[in-house]
Structure 1
Amino acid sequence: MQKLRLLVPAAALAVLTSCGDGLPVEPPPVSAQCMVESAAVVGTSADLSLDPLFAAAAVEFAVPAPLLKAIGYVETRWQMVEGDPEFPGQPAAFGVMALRGEQLEQGARLAGVPVDAVRADPEANIRAAAALLRAYADQLEVRSSDLAAWAPAVARYSGIQLPEGRASYVHDDVYATLRRGAVGRARDGSVTASLAPVQVAPGYLQSLNPGSRTLSADYSGAVWRASPNRNARPAGDIGKIAMVIIHTCEGSYTGCWSWLANRDSRVSAHYVVREDGSEITQLVRDADRGWHIGSSYDCALNRSFECWRNGNSNNHFTIGIEHAGYASQTVWSAGQLDASAKLVCDLTRRHGIRRDDIHILGHAQLQPHNRTDPGANWLWAQYHVRIDAHCGGTAAEEIVIDGDHTGNDRSRGYLTVSSRWTSTRATPGHYGSGYYFAPTGDAADPAAFHFYLPAPATKTVEAWWTAGTNRSPSASFSVADGNGRRLGEARVDQQRDGQRWNALGTWSFPAGWNTVQLSRLGPTGCVVIADAVRVR
């Protein structure tokens, strides 16, 4: 009998097979039933301590190390990001310091390192940023080691055009981080960098007293920063608010709302959520049409739902929420997820939007040809539970057992797999931050999704998987109670219906622990996908 293992953090999982990008990928099929699929590249966070890199770059280019660290924290939370273009006219950001476009190229020249190294190597990225800051300081005649005197150089580094945005970046972001201090952690809990608090006030004009800011008329507590990039929704049903689109800014909070409030950008969103959830900006009134998604509706991308919308701009009937951060980042803060979930709950209540994965979608789902946000590591399971909890809905009654351990309440549900199952996030569209796959063969060796019911109940069981042409067309899910009594079975085609909940059946369960098992048994040459199970 093969030894079972409990699901553990992704950083600790053994990698059995890997492709060129370092992600485990399902093996090529040998069965005529299955075709080959390609793996997607997903960014990772820095896997080393960044503190020595910051210290060395600070000495080399005579830049205060705390300032360098604070900027990196504001830009990426010290994650090694590989940005995607989110807004037209704004190049993608790269690395711990979120360098982009001409700024990245200039930093590379000043530091004497190749542009590709600045994009991919933490040390080269931090050195390029330090060299750039030194150049800005020299141009501005900042000779002092006094942190306060560096504020104008920080404003220039931001790349923000709006005066209010530059001032907010300096005061509310970088220098506020210096005063608070910070600790960055990877998914496994290890410290990536740390910043001790420094009590300093920037030598830079505060353009607006925080206490005098205008608040949103739509969402209580949100700051109102009007964007000119909006227009009226069309009349009729097509203009009625029906869905919420989740985006990532591919940048920092202040950089994001400043760009969306800039007339020259020609883009907008209704809301932007800060990295820690402590502030939300509204730029477009709910009733108005934001310019946040550049595609027309195609119901084939949304479970053939409401195909009458086909061909109409998705902006007509959606609300767009941008989240400070990057599709490639590996860690999302609980504060940001919770603030966003609370906002979405409010939107669904006010506009009569159903709280499910047909009406609350990622940008990439409706614009898959050139967008990936909110990314493979967006915690959809946690997110939907938080939305329901804020709305006082079915969160307590619904159980989601996810391939990402951080999305599971261990007292209500968990996953066990044998060593024959491999963890990956190679195929986009998975639930949480990853899934398991295993080759089909002559042994059942199931992935077991365990869930606890405090009382007997009749529940519907659903499964989520990533579809692909190398998946089993006849994957077997079996349902059993805690005594091993088989309650039923469902066979599904995992080559189809990916990135959605698929009903397996409805059964009467006893109180206690029950199990949904996905078997590996079947003709060789395919794989089966254990991603997530929902019981409701």
Structure 2
Amino acid sequence: MRKTATILLAVGALALTALPSHAAQPPQPTGQPDLAAAFQAAAAKYDVPREVLVSVGFAETHLDGHDGAPSQANGYGVMHLASNNTNTTMSEASKLTGLPVAKLTKDDPSNILGAAAVLDSYADQAGLKDRSDLGKWYSVIAKYSHSADGPTARLYTDEVYRVIARGVSTAGVSTEPKQVTPDLGAYAKVSPLGTKSASAVQAADYPGAIWNPACTCNYAVGRTQAITTIVIHVTQGSYAGTISWFKDPAAQVSAHYVVRSSDGQITQMVAEKDTAWHARSANPFAIGIEHEGFIDQPSWFTDAMYRSSAALTANIADRRGIPKDRNHIKGHSEMPGNDHTDPGPNWNWDYYMQLVNGGDPNPPQYNFTTYGNGVNVRSGPHLADSVVTTLPGPTQVFVECQTQGDTVTANGYTNNWWSKLRDQGGYMTNIYIDDPNAKLPGVPDC
């Protein structure tokens, strides 16, 4: 995940670059809706914080309505108002606003207004009094997701709060980054999906994956053919939404793996020995990998996603003796008997295959977002290493770092608990930052 703002660190002379204020947004092109005004109006009418409304939309669609085309879970518009057996936010929005479904589906301002009405209704049901406290909206946002279970709802809602923390600047809409401590309420007792139990680690075929199984009604046990092909998909939806959909008995679809856009986190939902339902006639001999996002929106295809997915594909190919070429690693659209178009024209096959085969055309640098409130910068990746400086706070900052090697063992887990900063001409050699967000074993810091 690449950002433009970074902290520049040099031994002996440490300088911080403050997060730049968002520049004035350019005027909307003629004929396109003013999304910023739509969010402002909807937030004011239904007393939903603008940051909550925008961040839910960004987590769902990156604020793109896709011209009214439905997602995999039959969700529509910027706010993904849905109509399926478990998520009825579309019909709820229509009832609450009096707007017809056709308008809520196609018209972005109406879609945003409908989502605000639904969130307002859920807030009333939850007895939410202080609407201005962003942290109090956690259970309301979780309900809006209509996730299949508590852990998936946490996955969805945590992502919304990460968006709130990072801020948004896209499609003419901007929000300032805000440090918020969410009130988890009943979800405090729900284990995050990033926490790997011993049984979950054992169940996953790929060591880097979180095991979260699909509904048994959405795949077939066993195989009728040898595995020869890896199929690349795009979810046409969000990471948490896709996981929830594969757990829904009505879906009748699944994939073996799902990859998150922001950081490349991988969830395995079907064992490789079993037949996921993702590519019709190719299912018996294929392993399916879904990637969060929409085929017409390249912003979802991050470097973190490419690298994580390529490492997964290479691992599968090596374990199963599958040649790492385009005859055996294919897009959904390339499989016989399929009418899908994913991963689409924005998927960079050349770069992806280069990564799968061990090539590295770009240095593996990533950025992560953290809060500079007592964040230690050390001379090495261990608690015993000397502290070079402590970042001031509570200003939110972006840190440019790399994840190659430099793993440490802590509390029984081996992980990149410390992030090695990018070397700038020797000034930052062997300098590490202690990331306070690295609380979950198995989740990379950057």
| Global fold match (TM > 0.5) | yes
| Residue number in structure 1 paired with 2:178 | 197
Question: For residue 199 of structure 1, what is the amino acid of its counterpart?
Answer: V
| Residue number in structure 2 paired with 1:329 | 297
Of 120, 129, 137, the match for 1:134? 120
Of 336, 343, 346, the match for 2:315? 346
Deviations 1:358-397 (A, max 9, x none): 2222223326664222233223333223323xx349x79x
Contact 1:84–1:371 (CA under 8 A) maintained in structure 2: no
Write out aligned runs for 1:58-457 (5 A): 58-82=43-67, 90-91=73-74, 93-101=75-83, 102-145=88-131, 146-170=133-157, 172-178=158-164, 180-185=165-170, 192-204=173-185, 205-206=187-188, 207-209=190-192, 210-213=194-197, 214-215=200-201, 217-227=204-214, 228=216, 229-235=218-224, 239-293=225-279, 295-296=280-281, 314-331=282-299, 332-366=301-335, 370-388=339-357, 391-392=358-359
Cα 1:67/1:52, change in 2 over 3 Å: same
Contact 1:218–1:286 (CA under 8 A) maintained in structure 2: yes
CA distance in 2, matches of 1:367, 1:155: 39
CA distance in 1, matches of 2:336, 2:147: 27
Contact 1:57–1:130 (CA under 8 A) maintained in structure 2: yes
Contact 2:264–2:307 (CA under 8 A) maintained in structure 1: no
Q: CA RMSD in A?
A: 2.8
Farther off after superposition, 97-106 or 362-371: 362-371
DSSP 3-state at the match of 2:195 = helix
CA distance in 2, matches of 1:111, 1:86: 22
CA distance in 1, matches of 2:50, 2:43: 5
CA distance in 1, matches of 2:298, 2:95: 29
Deviations 1:59-99 (A, max 9, x none): 11110111112211211122333576675xx32x2222122
Contact 2:264–2:309 (CA under 8 A) maintained in structure 1: no
Give the CA deviation at 1:357: 2.5
Q: Which has the higher helix share?
A: 2
Deviations 1:122-159 (A, max 9, x none): 32221111111112222333232122332222122102
Contact 2:135–2:181 (CA under 8 A) maintained in structure 1: yes
DSSP 3-state at the match of 1:211 = coil
Cα 1:59/1:182, change in 2 over 3 Å: same
CA distance in 2, matches of 1:273, 1:219: 13
Unmatched runs of 5 consecutive residues or more in structure 1: 1-45, 297-313, 397-536
Contact 1:162–1:262 (CA under 8 A) maintained in structure 2: no
CA distance in 1, matches of 2:124, 2:151: 24
CA distance in 1, matches of 2:237, 2:252: 17
| Residue number in structure 2 paired with 1:409 | none
Contact 2:223–2:273 (CA under 8 A) maintained in structure 1: no
Contact 1:327–1:376 (CA under 8 A) maintained in structure 2: yes
Contact 1:252–1:325 (CA under 8 A) maintained in structure 2: yes
Cα 1:195/1:344, change in 2 over 3 Å: farther
| Residue number in structure 2 paired with 1:464 | none
Question: For residue 377 of structure 1, what is the amino acid of its counterpart?
Answer: N
CA distance in 2, matches of 1:276, 1:124: 28
Q: Which has the higher contact order (CA 8 A, sep 6+)?
A: 1
Give the CA deviation at 1:321: 0.7
Contact 2:255–2:290 (CA under 8 A) maintained in structure 1: yes
Contact 1:273–1:324 (CA under 8 A) maintained in structure 2: yes
Give the CA deviation at 1:112: 4.0
Question: For residue 274 of structure 2, what is the amino acid of its counterpart?
Answer: D
Give the CA deviation at 1:277: 3.3
Give the CA deviation at 1:242: 0.7
Deviations 1:96-131 (A, max 9, x none): 212222422432443344433333333222111111
Question: For residue 82 of structure 2, what is the amino acid of its counterpart?
Answer: R
Q: Compute the TM-score of the two structures, normalised by the length of structure 1.
A: 0.54
Contact 2:33–2:108 (CA under 8 A) maintained in structure 1: no
| Residue number in structure 2 paired with 1:57 | 42
Cα 1:57/1:323, change in 2 over 3 Å: same
DSSP 3-state at the match of 2:262 = coil
CA distance in 1, matches of 2:173, 2:325: 35
Cα 1:203/1:144, change in 2 over 3 Å: farther
Cα 1:195/1:371, change in 2 over 3 Å: farther
Identity among equivalent pairs (%): 33
CA distance in 2, matches of 1:361, 1:202: 43
Give the CA deviation at 1:270: 0.7
Give the CA deviation at 1:281: 0.2
| Residue number in structure 2 paired with 1:444 | none
DSSP 3-state at the match of 1:272 = strand
CA distance in 2, matches of 1:329, 1:112: 31
Cα 1:374/1:167, change in 2 over 3 Å: same
Query: Larger radius of gyration, structure 1 or 2?
Result: 1
Deviations 1:207-235 (A, max 9, x none): 11543443364212211112334434435
Question: For residue 208 of structure 1, what is the amino acid of its counterpart?
Answer: S
CA distance in 1, matches of 2:61, 2:339: 22
DSSP 3-state at the match of 1:322 = strand
